[in-house]
Chains A and B, each alone.
Chain A
Amino acid sequence: MNLVEIENLNLFYQSVKSETQALMDVNLSIQPFEFVSIVGPSGCGKTTILSLIAGLISPTTGVVKVKDETPNPKKDICGYMFQRDNLLPWRNIEKNIYFGLEIKHKKSNENKEYARELAIKYGLGEFLKKHPHELSGGMRQRVSLIRTLALKPELLLLDEPFSALDYQTRLTLCDDILHIIKSEKKTAILVTHDIQEAISMSDRIIVLSARPGTVKAVHKLNFDKALTPFERRNTTKAKKLFDVIWQEIQNEKAKI
């Protein structure tokens, strides 16, 4: 069974003076435990797809189903991770990772323990009592992921989570986060501008066309499972694929 099912999806953004079609006839499905990236030119509706899957907005026409149901942020299926870490500056790290639990009224000792264990397991143990401003950008983004994972979502929606970081941090965090996602056995959809990043992490890459976005190409990747994202980047296969996707997006940009 597919975890996410999108059929004949159209989405229009409305304003008094205009109407913009963001997505056109999008069809895609995502299987459990898959890591799928969505790439495409700016403004092609990548983030819009995530918002639809999270249930933050509803399609104008067409169907979006997550686990055969209409998505709703009140359910605990999706965990959304943003470009910015969005930690609450007045809370320490430990209280930040409990934030989702509080909102969902799930702040039981058991769940708190689970969140804290995750944090410790992934190298945040010594920072629990610190405040966000005392941590580096990469560490903060990691806290943000743990906060999302604390709710045990099946599907992670990653909205350019690395793009606000410097290059060095970005590469190491890619490795770390993919490791976390794979070892916690999560399904993930990553929206990114960075083709290399998509290649280094994904099982499948979806290329969207220029606005209105529609699925332009799908690439299935079969790298050696043992390779880390960093190692993948250096393979010739990755470089070839980069050229292909680059050209696809370039062609789309030319249309604008």
Chain B
Amino acid sequence: MKKQKFSVAHARFVKKYRLQKAITLTTQILILVAFILAWELLTKHEIISSFFFSSPSKIANTIKELYNSGELFYNSIITLRETLIGFAIATGIGFLVAFVLWYNNFLRRVAEPYIVVLNSLPKIALGPIIIIWFGAGSKAIIFMCILIVIIVTILNILNSFISCDKQLIAVAKSLGANKLQTFFKLVLPSSVKDIVATLKINVGLSWIGSIMGEYMTSKAGLGYLLKYGGQVMNLNLVMTSTVLLCIMASLMYLLVALFEKLMNKIYK
């Protein structure tokens, strides 16, 4: 491509655009810093109770202690593992089920009321049943995570498959395409955006699932630390676990966002 020559006005425009971006970022960082500073100062002078609100320095200390005792990675990895397995299985199976329901109209009609009921059911209500079936431990937690993620996945992805442009499908039909061809050449590529959006939702949901599972039954993990900290009124531990969760969930979200960028490049 030829390099375009730009006018002075363009340079002004770019400058303004960059300035706006910089101001936004600076403001965001300032808010975070101000929040942490205020938190630290207010609790240091006991204007608000450091027992009930913990404090950034206490959280840092707790992280250090957890690190030294080896509990930091031990617990984080247990929860991360449950979340990732739940996320992967639920997304994978959810996708497959959505595909089958798209492929077979009869099955879709039959399954519809069941999916609606399962979607509105608060999955935590199944807690006792899950523990009885899978025992108290990782399996039960992962199953809870899957239950929470899978229904939404099926609904979102199926919806996206069904809403594929009817006119494009008419073209495929006029060419005598079979259903599998229609799926792989039209439906799937035009659903990429929705699928990635579903992945983003699933990141949040799978953390909800694993933490809820750990509340329900666990001997380790961040959810366990949260519950334990709450029971013994150790707010430092509670806050620390929350911060760790925040960090890990954001990292996972970032990964999906990167994947989205890549997909957008291919399927613009």
Contact = CB atoms under 8 A, between A and B. Distances in A.
Interface in B142-192: 165, 167-168, 170-177, 181, 185-186, 189-190, 192
A162 interface: no
A228 interface: no
B8 interface: no
A90 B165 CA distance: 13
Contacts of A89: 268
Given A88-B186, A88-B189, A90-B267, A73 B171 contact: no
Nearest to A76: B176
B185 A82 contact: no
Contacts of B190: 90
Contacts of B167: 82, 84, 86
B266 interface: yes
Q: Which of B176, B185, B190, B192 has the most CB of A within 10 A?
A: B176
A102 interface: yes
Instruction: Say whether chain B's binding surface is mostly helix, strand, loop, or mixed.
Output: helix
A121 to B, nearest CB: 22
A82 B165 CA distance: 14
A189 B167 CA distance: 20
Contacts of B170: 82, 86
Given A73-B176, A99-B185, A104-B176, A80 B267 contact: no
Contact of B174 (A54, A84, A88, A102): A54
Interface residues of A, number: 21
Contact of B185 (A74, A86, A103, A151): A103
Interface in B247-268: 266-268
B168 A88 contact: yes
A72 interface: yes
Contacts of B266: 90
Contact of B175 (A90, A104, A131): A104
B174 A56 contact: yes
B195 to A, nearest CB: 13
Contact of A103 (B165, B175, B189, B267): B175
Contacts of A100: 175
B189 A90 contact: yes
A90 B268 contact: yes
Contact of A73 (B165, B173, B192, B267): B173
A103 B172 contact: yes
A88 B181 CA distance: 14
Nearest to A51: B174
A82 B173 contact: no
A100 B186 CA distance: 12
A88 B266 CA distance: 13
A49 B268 CA distance: 36
Interface in A43-59: 54, 56
Choose among A72, A75, A82, A86 the residue with the greatest number of B CB atoms under 10 Å from its CB.
A86
Find the residue from A99, A103, A104, A131 having the highest chain B CB count within 10 A.
Answer: A103
Nearest to B182: A103
Contact of B171 (A75, A78, A82, A90): A82
A100 B167 CA distance: 15
B171 A56 contact: no
Contacts of B192: 90
Contacts of B165: 86
A66 B266 CA distance: 41
A86 B165 CA distance: 9
13 contacts: A78-B174, A80-B175, A82-B170, A86-B168, A86-B170, A86-B171, A90-B189, A99-B185, A100-B175, A103-B177, A104-B175, A104-B176, A151-B175
Given A90-B267, A99-B175, 15 more contacts: A56-B173, A56-B174, A72-B176, A73-B173, A73-B175, A78-B174, A82-B170, A86-B170, A86-B171, A88-B185, A88-B186, A99-B185, A103-B175, A104-B176, A151-B175
